[in-house]
C-alpha cells in the first residue's frame, strides 16, 4: 500500500507486535522464568495471602520485609565469591604501595600467580588478604576501586561481568515482592560496603537495604579540613550464621516475613524468619544444575565437608522445618537473562 | 426550602465548607507552623533546587536522604532525655527481680526516690543504669516494656505522653521532605531499639530508618526450641559526635543531603552533611523559647559547660559553616500540635 516507506511501515508494525508480545509476556505472570510447580506456587501463595486485604495472614505494608542472601542465592558464587576475587586481584596494587608485602605470606603466594597454591590458601590466609584490601583506606577510595573492578572483571566461565551472572528467576522474585509492597534487603556474608557499590544497578536494591559483614569506620579530617571516613580493621558485624538474624535486628529491626538462602550460613536467618507469627516463607536454593550453572551440596552425593554450601544436614533441616527447596534444574526455565 | 432535613442539609454544607477550608490550609504552604523568614525560606529553597528536574543541584530520588537528631530536635529533651527517664523508672522493677541491687550504687540512690540525689548522678552512674535496664533481656521483652512505659509515662511539665511533645514545625519538615521524595531518618544518641518502638507512630519513621546507639544481640533458642535474640551489654555503635557520621555510613551508606540537630553531639553529622557536593542543608535548632518550651545553650548567656547542648562554640561554628540556625521563638508559630 505504501510504496514510499514500505520498510518503515513493516518496522513500525513489527515494533507494535513486539510491544504487544511484551504485554502478553507480562500478563502471563509475575515469575515467568519459573516452571509451574510447588516452588513457584508457594511463592505466589505466600504473596497472595500476606497482601490480600481481609486475609487472616495479611501483613501491613510497613511490615513487609524480605531478606536475600547474595552469593549463590542471587548470583553465581563459584568458583569463588566475587568479593574474594576482588581481594586477590587487589594484592598486586597493594604490593606496589607496600613492597614489604612481597616477602610476606599469604601475599607472596598470591603474587606468585600459582593458581594451585592460591586455591590452597586457608581461611585465616584469606581473612588476612581481605583485611588488607578492604580496610585502611577512605570509604570513597574503596567504593571507587570496587566500582572500577566490577566494570572490568570477568567471570572465568562465562567471560561476563559478575553483575550479568545474577539469576533471572530471583530477579523476578525481587520484582514481584516489591510490586506487592515488600521492601527487599540483601543480607550477605560478603562485605557490606562492597555489595552496596553495585546493588542498586544489579538488583534494584539501594545501599541502605544491604546488610553485610561490616567493619567500623573512623571519622577524621583531610588536609583541606574536609571530613571523611576511613575503613578500619575492627569488625562490627560478621554477617554469617547467627550473625544474619543479629544483623537483621541491628540494621532493620523487624523479623522478615520471607527469607531466601542457599547455604549453611543462611540457616539461622531462615529458621528465625520461619519462627515468626502468621505466614512466613523460607526458601533455599539447591544448586543441582551442572549444565546451566553448577551442581554442589546434596546434589553431588558428597559428604558434608564443604563449609558455606547447602549440605545434606541443611537439606534435612529444610524438609523438617517446611522451607521451600528450589531445584535450579527443575524449577527454573532459565538461569540467566542472557540465555535464549 | 427543605423542611424535612434542614439540620442534615446544614451539616452537609458545613462539612463541605470544612473540607474546602482544609484544602485552603494545605494550599497555604507545606510548613504552616513556620513564620516566613530566612529559616523557612532556606528549607523551601533547598527542597526546590534538589527536586526540580533540570536544576544544577537536582538530586536523584534514590539519593535523597535526610537525617534528624531526636532529643531536642524532634521532641523535648528537658528536663531529661526520655530514654533516661525510662531507665530510672525501670529500676524498681529490676530490683524486684534482683534484690541484691537495693544495696548497690547507683541503684540504691534511684530507689531512695530522693530527687536531689538522683539529679546528681554522674555519667558513669547513668551508664550503669542504662546497661542494667537496656540489656540482658530478650529483644521482644524490651520492646514490650518500652511500649507499655510510653503509653503511661507523662512529661513532668505538660503532663502529657512524651510522644505528644514532638515539635509540630519539625513534623511538617519531615512530611515536606517525604512528600518530595526524601527518605527521613532519625540519627540519635538515644537507644536505637528504644526509639524504634514508637518512631513510626510518633514521626512516621519506620524502625529500619532509625539509627541510634546500639548494642549487640545474641541469637539463641528458647526451651520450646524457638529462636530469639537477647540484648547484650556489648556496645556496637555510640551514636554521638563522630559516631553519627560513622553510624550513618554503617546503616545507610550514603552521605545525607540534609541534616538537622541541636547540640554538640550533632556537630560531626552537620559538618559531614554540609561537606558533600552540590546543595546540602545543615540546620540547627536554638532553644530560646523559655515561655513555650525551654531556653538553654547560647540563649542563656551561660558558659559552654553543659555537655550535649547547643554551646556558644557550636553557634559560632554554625555561622562559620553556613548552617541554618533556627530560633524556636522567632521562627515557629507554634511548638506543639496541642497548642491553639
Question: Between helices A123-134 and A82-97, what is the axis angle to 10°?
Answer: 60
Q: A65: closest CA among B209, B38, B117?
A: B209
Predicted confidence band of residue B6 (pLDDT cuts 50, 70, 90)? very low
User: What is chain B's Cα-based Rg?
Assistant: 23
Q: Angle CA(B90)–CA(B96)–CA(B100) in degrees, nearest 5?
A: 105
Answer yes or no: CATH 3.40.50.1000 is held by domain B33-78+163-340: yes
Question: Backbone phi, then psi, for A322, in 5-degree steps?
Answer: 75, 25
A193, A210, A246 ranked by CB distance to B217: nearest: A246
> What span, in angstroms and rounded, lies between the C-alpha atoms of B256 and A310?
39
B196 pLDDT band, cuts 50/70/90, is very high
Q: Which CATH superfamily is domain A31-79+160-340 in?
A: HAD superfamily/HAD-like (3.40.50.1000)
pLDDT of residue A28: 52
**pLDDT, chain B, mean:** 90
Alpha-carbon gap: B139 to the closest alpha carbon of chain A (Å): 9
CB A183 within 8 A of CB A67: no
Kindly identify which residue of chain A lies nearest to residue B228, measuring between CA atoms.
A272
CB B250 within 8 A of CB A218: no
Cβ neighbours of B236 in A, within 8 Å = 236-237, 250
Give B207→chain A minimum CA distance, Å.
Answer: 6
Per-residue confidence (pLDDT) for residue A303, from 0 to 100: 62
Element (H, E) at B249: helix B243-251
Contact (CB, 8 A) for B305 and B264: no
* Alpha-carbon Rg for chain A in angstroms: 22
pLDDT band at B307 (very low <50, low <70, confident <90, very high): very low
* 10-residue mean pLDDT series, chain A (340 residues): 42 46 51 97 98 97 97 94 93 93 94 91 92 94 97 96 98 98 98 98 98 98 96 96 98 98 95 97 95 86 61 89 96 93
Domain ranges of chain B: 33-78+163-340, 80-155
d(CA A159, CA A153): 9
As a whole number, mean pLDDT of residues B301-317 equals: 71
Q: How far apart are CA A241 and CA A263, in angstroms?
A: 9
Per the CB < 8 Å rule, is A219 touching B250?
Answer: no
Residues A141 and A126: their CA atoms lie apart, in Å, by 22
- Interchain proximity B249–A208, CB inside 8 Å: no
Q: Which residue has the cell 569506620?
A: A217
B234 phi and psi angles, rounded to 5 deg: -70, 125
Instruction: Report which secondary-structure segment, H or E, holds A127.
Output: helix A123-134
Asked if A331 and A34 touch (Cβ cutoff 8 Å), the reply is yes
Q: What are the phi and psi torsion angles at B10 (to 5°)?
A: -65, -35
Q: H helices then E strands: how many in chain A?
A: 13, 7
Question: To the nearest 10°, the Cα dihedral for A174, A175, A181, A185?
Answer: 30
- At residue B1, the pLDDT reads 38
| Per-residue model confidence (pLDDT) at position A304 | 58
Read off the pLDDT of residues B318-333 as tens digits, 9 standing for 90 and up: 999 999 999 999 999 9
In a mutational test of the A interface, the residue from B219, B246, B266 whose CB has the highest number of chain A CBs within 10 Å is B219
CA distances from A215 to A190, A227, A246 (A): 12, 19, 15
Which of B250, B254, B266 is the best mutation test for A, with the most CBs of A within 10 A? Answer: B250
CA–CA dist A181, A53 (Å, integer): 13
In Å, how far is B63's CA from the nearest CA of chain A? 9
Burial class (CB in 10 A: 0-12, 13-18, 19+), A96: exposed
Pairing, β A281-286 against β A258-261: parallel
pLDDT at B12: 47
Q: Is the pLDDT of residue B270 over 50?
A: yes
Torsion angles phi and psi, residue B56, rounded to 5: -65, -20
Disruptive mutation site among A178, A246, A249, A274 for chain B (greatest number of B CBs within 10 Å): A249
Q: Kindly tell me the burial class for residue A213, based on how many C-beta atoms sit within 10 Å of its own C-beta (0-12, 13-18, 19 or more).
A: buried
| CA B162-B165-B171 angle, 5° bins | 125
Closest CA relative to residue A297, chosen from A320, A318, A314, A321: A314
Q: Which residue has the higher pLDDT, A23 or B293?
A: B293
CA B84, B89, B91, B97 torsion: positive or negative?
negative
Amino acid at each position: 500500500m505504501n510504496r514510499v516507506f514500505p520498510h518503515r511501515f513493516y518496522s513500525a508494525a513489527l515494533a507494535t507486535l513486539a510491544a504487544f508480545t511484551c504485554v502478553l509476556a507480562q500478563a502471563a505472570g509475575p515469575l515467568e522464568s519459573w516452571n509451574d510447580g510447588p516452588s513457584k506456587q508457594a511463592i505466589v501463595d505466600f504473596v497472595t495471602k500476606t497482601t490480600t486485604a481481609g486475609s487472616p495472614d495479611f501483613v501491613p505494608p510497613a511490615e513487609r520485609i524480605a531478606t536475600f542472601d547474595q552469593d549463590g542465592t542471587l548470583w553465581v558464587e563459584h568458583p569463588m565469591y566475587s568479593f574474594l576475587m576482588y581481594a586477590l586481584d587487589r594484592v598486586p596494587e597493594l604490593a606496589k604501595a607496600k613492597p614489604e608485602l612481597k616477602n610476606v605470606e599469604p601475599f607472596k603466594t598470591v603474587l606468585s600467580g600459582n593458581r594451585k597454591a592460591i586455591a590452597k590458601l586457608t581461611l585465616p590466609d584469606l581473612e588476612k588478604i581481605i583485611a588488607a584490601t578492604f580496610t585502611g583506606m577512605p570509604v570513597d577510595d574503596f567504593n571507587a576501586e570496587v566500582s572500577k573492578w566490577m566494570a572490568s572483571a570477568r567471570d572465568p566461565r562465562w567471560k561476563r561481568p559478575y553483575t550479568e551472572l545474577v539469576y533471572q528467576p530471583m530477579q523476578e522474585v525481587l520484582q514481584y515482592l516489591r510490586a506487592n509492597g515488600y521492601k527487599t534487603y540483601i543480607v550477605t556474608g560478603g562485605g557490606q560496603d562492597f555489595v552496596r557499590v553495585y546493588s542498586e544497578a544489579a538488583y534494584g536494591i539501594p545501599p541502605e537495604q544491604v546488610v553485610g559483614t561490616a567493619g567500623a569506620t573512623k571519622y577524621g579530617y583531610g588536609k583541606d579540613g574536609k571530613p571523611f571516613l576511613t575503613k578500619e580493621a575492627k569488625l562490627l558485624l560478621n554477617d554469617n550464621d547467627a550473625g544474619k538474624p543479629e544483623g537483621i535486628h541491628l540494621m532493620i529491626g523487624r523479623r522478615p516475613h520471607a527469607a531466601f538462602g542457599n547455604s549453611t550460613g543462611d540457616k539461622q536467618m531462615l529458621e528465625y524468619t520461619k519462627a515468626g507469627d502468621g505466614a512466613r516463607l523460607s526458601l533455599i536454593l539447591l544448586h543441582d544444575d551442572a549444565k546451566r550453572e553448577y551442581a554442589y551440596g546434596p546434589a553431588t552425593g558428597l559428604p558434608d565437608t564443604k563449609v558455606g554450601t547447602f549440605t545434606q544436614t541443611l537439606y534435612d533441616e529444610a524438609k523438617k522445618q517446611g522451607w521451600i527447596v528450589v531445584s535450579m534444574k527443575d524449577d527454573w526455565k532459565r538461569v540467566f537473562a542472557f540465555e535464549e
